[in-house]
Structure 1
Amino acid sequence: MNEKPVQGFGGLWNISFGFFGIQIGFALQNANMSRIFQTLGGSLDDLSYLWVAAPLTGLLIQPIIGHYSDRTWNRLGRRRPYFLAGAVLAALALFVMPEARILWFAAVTLWVLDASINVSMEPFRAFVGDMLRKDQHTAGYALQTAFIGAGAVVGSIFPFVLAHLGVSGTALGGVPDTVRYSFWFGGAALLLAVLWTVGNVKEYSPAQMAAFGERDPVEGVGEPMRALAARGLGRSLAWIVGGVVIVAAVPLLALQKEVYLLGALLIAYGVASIVAIRLARGGKTDNALSMIVGDFAGMPLVMKRLALVQFFSWSALFIMWIFTTPVVAQYMFGASDPKSAAYNAGGDWVGVLFAVYNGVAALAALLVLPRLAARIGKVRTHIACLLCGAAAYASFFVIRDPNWLILSEIGVGIAWASILAMPYAILASSLPQAKLGIYMGLFNVFIVVPQLLVATVMGSVLKAFFPTEPIWTMAFAAIVMALAALAMLRVPETGDRAVS
């Protein structure tokens, strides 16, 4: 059995450079979508749907793209056709989005943009695992994380830079020029970065992958399909009942209307699993639905344990993204009125803080994570970084000078770097190589579900118990990040392969 060749820094750079452009587009979307919708007449009550739209799109698309990318072999390769097609569509959406003049058109374009970014993003995770030896997985995902951080910084600050260069930031009948030019720049950067990776990296052929000891994904279909056919319908019905209970609880408990979406997703998964089981029992195993549900039900143990870690850590991150602005504005700038100058000054400072943690993440991924993982292992490295994040969130309770929050964001950046690198390095070294695409896509479920929970439930909790004290959201973030570190204790170090 042959070994994959060792990649130098140039090879690692080429493999992940496309992610730099993708993250620029993603950061532009996250930083400006609320502004665009409000400019076109969207109300504040409508903005929560936008926070839900992005993770929901990833939840639906990434497992599908992962499944099919495992089975694709053509002139472009295995993963490259998907992130190239997604990049072209995302670039077009970025060029069209700022030209929207009516709300519904902007909403449709946003969904196209987010779907396209997810089509590009998902195969890149598996691509690193495909191209690198196991002993280079940490370095590969760390460099990818550095590109994510750098792209986020560039995409986040570009409108700010244009405004300081004299470009108009006033909305006169449409999107401001600062946003329009930033989106055009982002579309070009995204496409060119992905084209760089496509043009400079040649994927291994099926014959080469077989020589590396990696079997065709189709060969492994039988076992999960037999397990799926043997499953009862009890769990599927439980998902449906749980969804119905949640939907019924919304009016009874006066929960926010977004909670309906969470219930609908549980019902949809229960129905989909029933259909998949019945297809498998009927011998109809050659369909994407049964294969995806079968792979989800048959996840390896290491992935199940990492899923719990992801659930906690991404819950903390989403709390931070939603609630940092009101916390900083109220407790550091003394303002709770979103229309006040002090509140907006707090919001501007949060933009700086977010740029800091992304910049720290890029540096930590390049300079700290690979060396630390080589010394103490991936699992201990991730635990230490998650605890840095928990301490950073807890520090919001004692810091009142906004300048000192930069220290907090250093801790957040260290945790963010590890969250984007270590779980994927552990997975890529522990999972069957032939199914990296589908498993990476399914792993995204445990990023999306906590985001949906936070977006749909946290607002109701805050309104019921702490209506005027958003600082308590940071307590939740600190606790769940610490729980993520605790859950990591059950994850085996790479090389100790766990079985399901």
Structure 2
Amino acid sequence: MNKRKLSFLEIWNMSFGFLGIQFGFALQGGFMSRIFQTLGAAKDDIPLLWIAAPLTGLIVQPIIGYLSDRTWSPRWGRRRPYFLIGAVLSSIALFFVPHSPALWVAAGFLWILDASINISMEPFRALVADKLPESQRSYGFVVQTLIIGIGTWVASNLPSFVSALGVSDSAAQGVVPMSVKVAFATGAFVFLVSILYTVFTTSEYPPEDMEEFEREKAKKNQFIPDILNNIGSMPLTMKRLGVIQFFSWFAFFTMWSMANPALTEHVFNSPAPVESEYNMSDAQQKEAYDLANTKFQKASNAVGSYMGTYGLSSMFFALLLVVYTSKRRINRKYVHMTSLILGGIGFLMMKYIPSEEYLYLSFTLIGFAWGSILSMPYAMLSSSVDPKKMGVIMGIFNMFIVIPQIVAALGGVVFISNLLGKEAINAMTVAGVCLVLAGVSNFLITNRKAITYEVENE
């Protein structure tokens, strides 16, 4: 199919729903560990509590990719029905997460939230490949990254913004502060509205051969064989990208799960108070606990705000690439390699910074890596696979995102960081080493079409 080139506004509209998706991911990534700690989780238990997120992605994304490849509605298209279903479920889960009365309830809501976000997210990746000619693929994924950067920065700062308006950061023992509850409710609203904007401003191409499409759709009991067949026949470039993705996503899962305990303890000297260390029946001890808890909550707000910097820097990184890729080709391999290594340096700095303000520099460098992770691998992959299977391939590619997170959650982060010492900040060192390894692994990519799309007459 000859696809026309789209304007910036058209690409912006089709990607705008990612603003809401990233509100969900940024609130989850920046503040779920804080919620777990508030509800009594020990810091070494936090990665395991996060296991719901990658496990859900491992199951949901290939299924949604497979189903969306076989969906067509003249009114709603192929991918948009999944955007909408995921948005409704995600918004409900986002609202209720900070109201969890117990740790197991919060872990359960994380499971529901991540499954719902995945329902919306996977078809967005496929939509770029569906709608854009190959010469605009890098441009399209970079525009998505620009929107993701905006969402990350705003959502990461929401509790601080809300707190500055006078909403309380204090709460009773085991209760999430109102500032976090209001932030999550705001995120739920933005998630739904931004997805609706994309649903109603974007059209989709119908299947090229409707008769063949209907025949494929009518086949029964093909899901598991098709998935296994596509896994077995994945292109060599996809496998090599998987190595890069493994180290990249191990690093970012480590950040999402461990940055709050690591930085509140190491940089702000305000770790989460442990209830068993206080005599709560003694008024003076209870007051000391409440004071320590309020310090921890305010430090957590600050950590969230500093983390938002990586969204802001990824946004500027993406903006530069948007301007550049609209007119010129880029070497995706070297852009990705350089960005990942810079992000690794950002993590490695955290253990040695002399004051908290240096976290801005750390997270700025991490943002370069994040901006590249959200665009370059998908641009390289989309140039290497059958466009008729774009949905299911993008879903299978997600395995290279979730498997490292599962390994990290099942003890990988705690085991490796404990080799360096018991301090939580060692987890950030592990994340830094992983991103450097991910950067070096780009030497594995040798497919010229994946590295630099050669512009042809279209």
- Shorter-chain TM-score: what band? 0.7 to 0.9
What does the per-residue CA deviation read over 1:434-471, in whole Å, with 9 as the maximum and x for residues that have no partner?
Answer: 111111111111111111222222212333x3333555
1:30: which partner in 2? 29
User: For 2:374, what is the secondary structure of its paired residue?
Assistant: helix
Shift of 1:143: 1.1
User: For 1:368, what is the secondary structure of its paired residue?
Assistant: helix
2:116: which partner in 1? 116
Q: Distance in 2 between matches of 1:202 and 1:99?
A: 37
Alignment of 1:84-483 (within 5 A): 84-101=84-101, 104-171=104-171, 175-206=176-207, 209-210=208-209, 216=213, 286-329=221-264, 332-333=267-268, 335=269, 337-339=271-273, 347-368=300-321, 371=324, 374-396=328-350, 398-455=352-409, 456-463=411-418, 465-483=419-437
Q: Distance in 2 between matches of 1:95 and 1:393?
A: 31
Q: Distance in 1 between matches of 2:130 and 2:26?
A: 26
Q: Which amino acid aligns with 2:14?
A: I
Matched pairs, number:
428
Q: Which amino acid aligns with 2:125?
A: R
Q: Which amino acid aligns with 1:312?
A: F
Distance change in 2, residues 1:315/1:105 (3 Å): closer
Distance change in 2, residues 1:220/1:141 (3 Å): same
Q: Which amino acid aligns with 2:363?
A: E
Q: Which amino acid aligns with 1:157?
A: N
Distance change in 2, residues 1:489/1:6 (3 Å): same
Shift of 1:430: 1.9
Shift of 1:169: 3.2
1:60: which partner in 2? 59
2:283: which partner in 1? none
Give ranges in structure 2 of 5+ residues lacking alignment. 274-291, 453-458
Q: Distance in 1 between matches of 2:450 and 2:320?
A: 26
Q: Distance in 2 between matches of 1:38 and 1:441?
A: 32
Q: Distance in 1 between matches of 2:244 and 2:401?
A: 10
Q: Which amino acid aligns with 1:468?
A: K
Please say if residues 95 and 187 of structure 1, whose CA atoms lie closer than 8 Å, have aligned partners that are also in contact. yes
What does the per-residue CA deviation read over 1:86-126, in whole Å, with 9 as the maximum and x for residues that have no partner?
Answer: 11111222334445445555443332222111101111110
What does the per-residue CA deviation read over 1:394-445, in whole Å, with 9 as the maximum and x for residues that have no partner?
Answer: 3335532332332222211111100111001111222111111111111111
Please say if residues 378 and 494 of structure 1, whose CA atoms lie closer than 8 Å, have aligned partners that are also in contact. no
2:427 aligned with 1:492: no
User: For 1:167, what is the secondary structure of its paired residue?
Assistant: coil
Distance change in 2, residues 1:98/1:466 (3 Å): closer
1:239: which partner in 2? none
User: For 2:50, what is the secondary structure of its paired residue?
Assistant: helix
2:276: which partner in 1? none
What does the per-residue CA deviation read over 1:118-176, in whole Å, with 9 as the maximum and x for residues that have no partner?
Answer: 10111111011101111111111111111112112222221221111112333359543
Q: Distance in 2 between matches of 1:60 and 1:87?
A: 18
Give ranges in structure 1 of 5+ residues lacking alignment. 222-283
Q: Distance in 2 between matches of 1:39 and 1:322?
A: 14
Please say if residues 62 and 441 of structure 1, whose CA atoms lie closer than 8 Å, have aligned partners that are also in contact. yes
Q: Distance in 1 between matches of 2:71 and 2:217?
A: 15
TM-score of the superposed pair, with normalisation by structure 2:
0.84
Q: What is the root-mean-square deviation in Å for CA atoms of aligned residues? A: 3.1
The range that moved more, 473-482 or 189-198, is: 473-482
Please say if residues 445 and 451 of structure 2, whose CA atoms lie closer than 8 Å, have aligned partners that are also in contact. no
Shift of 1:389: 1.6
User: For 1:188, what is the secondary structure of its paired residue?
Assistant: helix
Distance change in 2, residues 1:109/1:497 (3 Å): closer
Distance change in 2, residues 1:409/1:26 (3 Å): closer
